[in-house]
Amino acid sequence: MSRILNVNMKKFFGAKYERIPRSVLIWGIVFFALRFAEIHINIASSVLALTTLFVTMMSFVVVLRSDDTISSIRGQLMLPEQPLDFHIAFFATIAAHTFLTKTGLLLLVYLTVSEWSGIGVAIFATCFVVSSVVAYALAFRTERKDAVYSRINHNSHNILLYLFRYLWSKKIYLTNTAVLWAFACVLAPVIGKSGFVAAMPLGFAVSCLNTPLGILLSSDKTLYQKVQTLPGQFRTVLFPYAAFMMTANLIACGFYLASWRLTVGIVPIHMIIVAGCFSAIGAFLTVLLELRFPLLNWKVESDLWHHPRKYIVAGILVILALPFVAITG
C-alpha cells in the first residue's frame, strides 16, 4: 500500500510535494484577504453541505475520468499489490488532493466569514467523506476510450467532428458547461437588481469563461501534436475551433440576456450586438492561447481547470466592458 500511496502522492503533489506549500500559501492569502475585508456572511449548514457534496463529487469525477488517470491506473494495477490496498491508497490520495485544492477552501471560507459551529464542521466532514466514497465508487474505471484524433485529417469538418465526439465522451465537460449556463441565468438578476444596471456587459465577460471548452487541446497532448502537423492551421483548426467556442459563448450570453429580460427588464438592442462581439472575441482569444500557449506540463488533468491562464481572456473582456459601464453608468 505504501508504494502505491507514494507513487500517487508524487503524481498529484509533485516529485518533492511542492504543490502542498503552494496550496497552503493560497489558503493563507484567502484567509487574510477575507479577514482584512471584514466580510461576514451567515452560511447555513444546508448550503455548506450541498456545496461540499457538489464540489467533492465533481472533483473526483474530473480526476477519475481523465484519460491520464486511467492510463496511470492501468499501469499501477499491474504491480503486485492487493486490490483492496490499491483502492485504499488511491482513494486516500485523491481525497487529499481534493481537500487541499478545492473543498478545503470551502471550509476555510466557512470558518472565516461565518459564525461557525462544531455541528457545521461535522456536517462538512460527513458530506466530504460520503461524497468522496460515492464518487469514487461510481466514477472509477479502467477501460480506455478509443482515440478519435486518429480520424483527423486536413479537413476542418473533422476537427468539428472531433470536438463533438470528445465532449460526448467526456460528460463532465458537458455538465460543467451546463452549470456555467445556469450560472449565467443566475448572474443576470444579481447584477440587474443590484442597482448597477450599467454593468450588464460584465456579465458577458463572465458568461464567456468556459474552462473545459478552452482546454480541449491541452487536455489531449496527442491531439495537440497531431494538430501541429496540419498545414494551414488557421483554416483547419483555428477557424472551426473558434466557431465552436463562439457558438458556446453565444448560447451562454443568450441565457444571460433571456434571464435579464425575464427578471430585470428590457434588454437594449445594442447590448445584443455587444454580446455577439464579446462571444467572438472571447472565442478567438481562447483558441489562440490554446494553439500558441498550450498547457502541456500538467500532472493531473484537473490542474488545467484551475490554471491562471483561463483568467486572461476573462480579464481582457472585463477591460473591454469597462468603457460601456463608464458611458452608461
Q: What DSSP letter does each residue of 76-106 carry, written as one string?
A: HTTSS--HHHHHHHHHHHHHHHHIIIIIHHH
How remote is the C-alpha of 105 from its chain's centroid? 16
pLDDT class of 234 with cuts at 50, 70, 90: low
- Give the chain's mean pLDDT: 81
Mean pLDDT computed over 304-308: 75
State the pLDDT at residue 175: 80
Is 327 or 86 the better-scoring residue by pLDDT? 86
Q: For residue range 263-305, what is the model confidence (pLDDT) as tens digits?
A: 887 888 888 998 999 999 999 999 888 888 888 777 777 777 7
Residue 151 has pLDDT above 90, yes or no: no
In the chain, alpha helices (H)? 2-13, 19-37, 45-64, 67-76, 83-98, 104-113, 118-139, 156-169, 171-192, 200-207, 221-228, 233, 239-263, 269-292, 302-305, 310-328
Residue type, 206: V
Going by pLDDT thresholds of 50, 70 and 90, the confidence category of residue 130 is very high
* Per-residue pLDDT at 154: 47
- Whether residue 80 is predicted with pLDDT greater than 70 in this model: the reply is yes
Whole-number pLDDT of residue 92:
92
The pLDDT value given to residue 279: 92
Q: Which of 275, 289, 202, 198 is nearest to 242 (CA)?
A: 289
Is residue 70 within 8 A of residue 142, CB to CB? The reply is yes
pLDDT tens digits, 22-50? 888 888 888 888 788 777 777 888 888 99
**Per-residue pLDDT at 281:** 93
Q: Give yes or no for residue 324 having a pLDDT over 80.
A: no
* pTM to 2 decimal places: 0.67
Contact 108, 30 (CB under 8 A): yes
- 246 neighbors 313 (Cβ within 8 angstroms): no
Average pLDDT over residues 104-112: 88
CA distances from 276 to 149, 184, 254, 267, 279 (A): 30, 15, 9, 14, 5
Cell of 201: 456587459
Supply φ then ψ for residue 209, to 5 degrees.
Answer: -85, 85
